[in-house]
Structure 1
Amino acid sequence: MEKNNRRNFLKLTGLTGAGLLGTSLLKGFPTTQKDTPALHNDSSYRQVFNMSGYSAPKLETVRVGFIGLGNRGPAAVKRMKYIDGVDIKGLCDIRPERTEAAKKLLEGTRHTPTLYSGTANAWKKMCERDDIDLIYIATPWDLHTPMAVFAMNHNKHACTEVPAATTIDECWQLVSTSERTRKHCMMLENCCYDFFELLTLNMARQGLFGEIVHCEGAYIHDLLEGNFSKTKNYDLWRLKENFRRKGNLYPTHGLGPVCQVLDINRGDKMDYLVSMSGNDFLMGNTARKLAATDDFYKPFVGKPYNGNMNTTIIRTIKGRTIMLQHDVTSPRPYSRIHLVSGTKGVAQKYPLPGRIALGGDQWASPEEMNTLTEKYTPEIVNRVGEMAKQVGGHGGMDFIMDWRTIDCLRNGLPLDQDVYDAALWSSIFPLSEKSVLNRSNSVDIPDFTNGAWKMNKPVNLSLENGGTTKIMM
């Protein structure tokens, strides 16, 4: 059994293309994967070094290696080529054709990356190089923590797609490794850099909403057809996540921006949550309908699919609340909700283009919204927002995220999202699962900062001492 487990792990960590989680690797997994015993917990863990507000040594040029070029990875490579002070040194995917395709995106630029592919450990060889500063991870969920930990242990900063971890044990691995190595571990939560989220964060910082009392976020996205697509996710890895796990499987898009508004990990902390899921009304039926005409789908019939809607409520130490929802199957318009409610006003992003009410029960008129937007749009959007829209990436927020991350590394500034954010926001996945499986009883939320939240400073999005990185269009 020990040899088989090791073999499965090596196979898993070698599947570096986004969406590469094979059927054979899922055999033997329990229907619901519970956490292994945590390496640390609130009572036993002692912070080695506080990574919140940490300024790593300046990097005049940020040398980057990318792992995972199946879906999100190539888009990141394309965005990075427009950012000055970046040298793309390596491209890695288990499929050679993916690395070759990504390399073509860099034709005519100054970048001459080495390609890594074809073997289970190719990504490790890239991480072991001495001339790379940052590893950018865009692989399936289960690979994020092993790759980020390996990168940090080899003297690299790590940026990973969401979620950064899928178990509480993995969350602690990220925290302890980042603190010990003093290497940044940033989860690439791009929604923190969307335009309305940045606007409302700045307004909250200016006190327009008064004291924030409640926030809401969500990931409501109709992925039903895509989850069953034979081509969208290799070997239907994301569909399989939806029958081996329960709860809110993808919490961070809605959670990250409101955590920054609430200064979570930086003045307040999450205390506990309760989580409830309804039944599955769509995925099982879809599997049966597809299997009736295509034998390929017969193994997916009768699986215990995750409930279509999950609702999770979080209470903070200061008595504020957060409501999160997760639904990736219902035929509903896309929404992350993004509601910020305070003692003096409220903002809500969806339905687009968003609305704000200050000091009354009427939403601001379009003219008033224009005035508020012009006055409170933060400096980072004024500086790079229009160029970000041209480059793209979910309307520009992906590019703002990448540009800001590189600019902070080049100027020795703290990152907007640290390892404690990566761990905490990701932890809602397994913690919601624990609550759902226990009749929605409350579950305590770990303090990954080990008490440092009381003194950590809020996120500062100003370009003071930064903003020097050029964009090459």
Structure 2
Amino acid sequence: METKEKVKVGLIGLGQRGNGLLPNILNNDALITCICDKFEDRIAKIKKIIKDKGFEEPFGTTSYLDVLDKKPDCLIVATSWNSHVEVALAAMDRGIPVAIEVGGTHNIADCWKLIDTYEKTKTPFFFLENCCYGKDEMLATSLARNGLLGEIVYCQGAYSHDLREEIAGGIDTHHYRLEEYKNHNCENYPTHELGPIAKVLNINRGNRFLKVVSMSSKACGMEEFIKKTPKYKDRLANVKFKQGDVTTTMIECENGETILLKLDTTLPHLYDRNFTVCGTEGVYCQTTKSVVLDDGRYDHEKDPIEKSFLNQKDYDEYLPEDWKGITQEQIDAGHGGMDFVMLKHFFKYIKNKEEMPIDIYDAAAWMSVTSLSEESIAKGSIPIECPDFTRGKYKNRKPLDVLSLPTIVKK
């Protein structure tokens, strides 16, 4: 196996997400040299998978500090949410480029720790928000950049994902969501929808979040699910969940745009991120896979919305090259191909010492929505001001998309 030019990766966290990242790391320009998890059985399992694929067995440990001592080219952190910041701070202090998986934070002070440590060390930091690299998100961004949607005024998105089994199953799998939903009521997973929206709106690069307002419904979904599920109904019978079934969050931006987010993970439905971008010349809607422009194609007053369903394929020329040339194997490797595309470019950033397009300021701004929404809900859904983690630098930072987008001039 040729390893000379490969990026040497330390992988911290070998649970569900760590396992999901594994094939996309190995199929990219990288080599996993160190792995870490607090559970020995996970370490043994991943060692075997890597060795069976023809790679050298990695160093394994239950302490991420041991991985830092090995000085890999970069660290990928796929642990539970509450340990992302701790590991990232330690990596940056050691000068090891670090990428952390997504999730929110309940502590604004943690965001400032990330910012202060990065600004002190200048160690490269990347936020692994794969949806920013998604095919739909990239298409909408390209349509916006090419002017087809006009001036953007409103965006919305959702994390609608039936996670009842995953949450309850934490009693056996150690999944962190069980404790999260018992103890908090907030927008706990904002970045899948907010990340791509923030990139479209150039947040931290000429624009910023000003205020957050959030509210949650009552919490019924998990208790009903547990009652009707034999393997949980006795063991979790007395558990009370604080997290509301549906949490809606509004964000006001400095340049006048508004954002609506929805967290919906404890009721029965199908997966949907509902990424939507609305401008003066048109709208993109991920749920219906549709583009509706002010170009005469539709009668906006009379045509039913179904007429536009699935028409986004008519705009494939606006996709970046990564999505025009993606293989079925890369698509099947995780989340429809976005994991492969994201990690391919992350390793390129590391090798070429390029600027990270999803950086420490983005991570802090997006993650902080969890804490801000929790405060808003607890105080009766009042507006909460958003910190400026750039300390004013956002005013002069130039927009930076995650992928190179085509410029298409229509006659």
- 1:203 paired to 2:143: yes
Percent of aligned positions with the same letter in both sequences? 34
User: How big is the shift at 1:291?
Assistant: 8.9
Residue in structure 2 matching 1:277, options 205, 216, 221? 216
User: How big is the shift at 1:429?
Assistant: 0.4
Residue in structure 2 matching 1:169, options 86, 97, 109? 109
Aligned partners of 1:350, 1:294: CA distance in 2, in Å? 34
Alignment-derived partner of residue 14 in structure 2: 69
Indicate conservation of the 8 Å contact 1:385/1:400, yes or no: no
- 1:217 paired to 2:134: no
TM, length-normalised to structure 1: 0.78
- 1:388 paired to 2:325: no
Determine helix, strand or coil for the equivalent of 2:263: strand
Residue in structure 2 matching 1:309, options 223, 230, 246? 246
User: How big is the shift at 1:462?
Assistant: 4.6
Give unpaired runs (5+ residues) of structure 1.
Answer: 1-58, 465-473
Residue in structure 1 matching 2:321, options 352, 356, 379? 379
Residue in structure 1 matching 2:278, options 341, 363, 386? 341
Change (3 A) 1:112 1:432: same
Aligned partners of 2:201, 2:17: CA distance in 1, in Å? 29
Within 5 A, what are the aligned runs for 1:69-468? 69-84=14-29, 86-107=30-51, 108-117=53-62, 122-130=63-71, 132-163=72-103, 165-229=105-169, 233-234=173-174, 237-287=176-226, 294-300=233-239, 303-351=240-288, 354-359=289-294, 361=300, 369-373=312-316, 375-384=317-326, 386=328, 388-390=330-332, 392-462=333-403
Within 5 A, what are the aligned runs for 1:5-24? none
User: How big is the shift at 1:307?
Assistant: 1.0
User: How big is the shift at 1:332?
Assistant: 1.9
User: How big is the shift at 1:384?
Assistant: 4.0
Indicate conservation of the 8 Å contact 2:170/2:178, yes or no: no
Alignment deviations for residues 322-346 of structure 1 (CA, whole Å, 9 cap, x no partner) = 0000011111221111000001000
Indicate conservation of the 8 Å contact 2:133/2:403, yes or no: no
User: How big is the shift at 1:388?
Assistant: 2.2
Change (3 A) 1:279 1:228: same
TM, length-normalised to structure 2: 0.89
Aligned length: 393
Determine helix, strand or coil for the equivalent of 1:106: helix
Alignment RMSD (CA, Å): 2.3
User: How big is the shift at 1:243?
Assistant: 2.1
Aligned partners of 2:344, 2:221: CA distance in 1, in Å? 39
Determine helix, strand or coil for the equivalent of 2:389: coil
Aligned partners of 2:212, 2:232: CA distance in 1, in Å? 42
Indicate conservation of the 8 Å contact 2:212/2:385, yes or no: yes
2:21 maps to a residue whose letter is A
User: How big is the shift at 1:94?
Assistant: 1.7
Alignment-derived partner of residue 409 in structure 2: none
Aligned partners of 1:396, 1:221: CA distance in 2, in Å? 19
Determine helix, strand or coil for the equivalent of 2:244: coil
Indicate conservation of the 8 Å contact 1:145/1:164, yes or no: no
Determine helix, strand or coil for the equivalent of 2:350: helix
Indicate conservation of the 8 Å contact 1:164/1:422, yes or no: no
Change (3 A) 1:332 1:462: closer
Alignment deviations for residues 416-473 of structure 1 (CA, whole Å, 9 cap, x no partner) = 2101111111100010000001111100001111111111111234559xxxxxxxxx
Change (3 A) 1:268 1:157: same
Determine helix, strand or coil for the equivalent of 2:323: helix
Alignment-derived partner of residue 14 in structure 1: none
Alignment-derived partner of residue 408 in structure 2: none
Aligned partners of 1:64, 1:292: CA distance in 2, in Å? 38
Change (3 A) 1:283 1:252: same
Alignment deviations for residues 30-88 of structure 1 (CA, whole Å, 9 cap, x no partner) = xxxxxxxxxxxxxxxxxxxxxxxxxxxxx96422101111211122122111112x232
Determine helix, strand or coil for the equivalent of 1:280: coil
2:32 maps to a residue whose letter is I
Alignment deviations for residues 94-149 of structure 1 (CA, whole Å, 9 cap, x no partner) = 222211211222224344411113xxxx211111223x121111111111111111
Aligned partners of 1:340, 1:212: CA distance in 2, in Å? 7
Determine helix, strand or coil for the equivalent of 2:278: strand
1:369 maps to a residue whose letter is Q
User: How big is the shift at 1:166?
Assistant: 3.3
Aligned partners of 2:233, 2:241: CA distance in 1, in Å? 20
User: How big is the shift at 1:366?
Assistant: 7.3
User: How big is the shift at 1:167?
Assistant: 1.5
1:138 maps to a residue whose letter is A
